Structure 1
Amino acid sequence: MTIKKRRVIMAFFGVIITGLCVGGLQKANLGTDPFTSFVTGIANLFKSRYSVFYVVITGILLLGIFLIDKHYIGIATVINLLLTGGAADMMHHLLDSLIPFPGLFARFGIMAVSLVFTCFSAALYFSADLGVSAYDAWALIASDRQQVVPFKFCRIITDSFCVLIGFIFGATVGIGTVLTAFCMGPLTNFFREKITNPMLEE
């Protein structure tokens, strides 16, 4: 199998697993990542589904990126737009059917598994290197164009805004949100070094 095909497959499964993990974190109801909090809050405001507003909001962000700096857009960006929201709703619905009223222990278990696989899916996505998500791209654009504020501070600003909006409109902000912020970097790097980068070696 060629490297290009491997990259496409890794990007595809990275996006799908990310969506499934979002659904798990929503079911656990202990807090999600900042962008999911934002989309959930806006969906709550309009009394709609997460998958609907994920496409709407990501599409708007993507249009802005296309007009400003389209080199951030790749096949993984498009896959992310089309599949993440649907995968999240599917997983949430499945968990609702299997465990309608999970206890606290089960909720922590769902959260822990979802967080670990979120990091693994991010490693697949990043190692594939076929474009970034629309949300990630905005902080990159802000830091690259201004060349004054580093990316990590641009990301803090965007994450803080998303968490605030999500919280205002009823999204759960909790330990899952905090753990996502602190664990994703180290765990994602671990998976990249040990699993996903070696997957691209001949």
Structure 2
Amino acid sequence: MKELFNSIIKGFLATLLMGIGIALFIACELGSDPITVFLDGFNRVTKVPVSVVDQIINLVILFLAFIMNRKKIGVNTIVSVLALGICIQIPTLLIEPLNLSTQTFYIRIIGIVIGQLCLALSFAWMQSFKDGINALDCIFFKIIEKTNIKYRTIRIIYDGCFICIGYLLGGVVGIGTIISLLTNGILVEKFRVVIDRLNISQHKFSERMVKNNG
């Protein structure tokens, strides 16, 4: 039970990190991340609330992940899907009073960079979870397994498709969108290397402590 609780907490924190990234992109108004561009465009055409469309997309991705790579699905996968909405709302409430959209261009760029780092770190951290990874990465990893295409390449293709569709539907594209498109996959790969090294170091430290105590 304790391990399950710890897994849920980690999953929520990683999702909250993603929510912070999305909230910063929206607040800076320099172009949203790829999926938000699509959500914005879809909302403009259909008037369906962004939160509803986002939840539907997450459920569809979870369904596809279950079909394609169910071994990678676990409690953290479910937490990520169900908690994303509230994990966007919480940081949004804290960020809104800063009025980032009215700040100087350089301040807004810094906000976008921090947002992108949060998004990439969130994805990389989830990839290291043993009790289920992000549903989207479940799909990506199966594609990588079958095709040997690099993660960053798949990420650019995926993000690019959402940007194009969202733009055609009327979604706002800006410099923030381009930054996200070009750096997301690369940053996730880099962060994953760092996280894996930290986990290995922590494991070795734990083993030494056990030996010393023994």
TM-score above 0.5, yes or no: yes
Q: By how many angstroms is 1:5 displaced?
A: 6.2
Deviates further, 122-131 or 23-32: 122-131
The answer for the alignment partner of 1:12 in structure 2 is: 12
Deviates further, 42-51 or 166-175: 42-51
Deviates further, 154-163 or 51-60: 154-163
The answer for the alignment partner of 1:150 in structure 2 is: 149
CA deviation profile, 1:87-135 (whole Å, cap 9, x unmatched): 2234334433441752333322321221222233233222224333333
Q: By how many angstroms is 1:197 displaced?
A: 4.8
State the number of aligned residues.
199
Which secondary structure state, in structure 2, belongs to the residue aligned with residue 128 of structure 1?
Answer: coil
Q: Residue 39 of structure 1 aligns to which amino acid in structure 2?
A: L
2:134 is the alignment partner of 1:133: yes
2:128 is the alignment partner of 1:118: no
> Unpaired runs of 5+ in structure 1?
none
In structure 2, do the counterparts of structure 1 residues 45 and 197 end up closer, same or farther at CA, with 3 Å as the change threshold?
farther
Contact 2:30 2:174 in 1 (8 A): yes
What is the CA–CA distance in structure 2 between the aligned matches of 1:64 and 1:120, rounded to whole Å?
Answer: 23
Q: TM-score, normalised by structure 1?
A: 0.77
Q: Residue 13 of structure 1 aligns to which amino acid in structure 2?
A: L
Q: Residue 109 of structure 1 aligns to which amino acid in structure 2?
A: I
2:35 is the alignment partner of 1:35: yes
CA deviation profile, 1:19-48 (whole Å, cap 9, x unmatched): 121111111122333233323332333324
What is the CA–CA distance in structure 1 between the aligned matches of 2:73 and 2:176, rounded to whole Å?
Answer: 29
Contact 1:74 1:130 in 2 (8 A): yes
What is the CA–CA distance in structure 2 between the aligned matches of 1:29 and 1:21, rounded to whole Å?
Answer: 13
Contact 1:51 1:86 in 2 (8 A): no
Q: TM-score, normalised by structure 2?
A: 0.74
Higher RCO (Cα < 8 Å, 6 or more apart): 1
Q: Residue 88 of structure 1 aligns to which amino acid in structure 2?
A: I
What is the CA–CA distance in structure 1 between the aligned matches of 2:148 and 2:122, rounded to whole Å?
Answer: 28
- Percent identical: 24
Contact 1:35 1:163 in 2 (8 A): yes
What is the CA–CA distance in structure 2 between the aligned matches of 1:84 and 1:170, rounded to whole Å?
Answer: 24
* Superposition RMSD in Å: 3.1
The answer for the alignment partner of 1:84 in structure 2 is: 84
Q: Tell which structure's C-alpha radius of gyration is larger.
A: 2
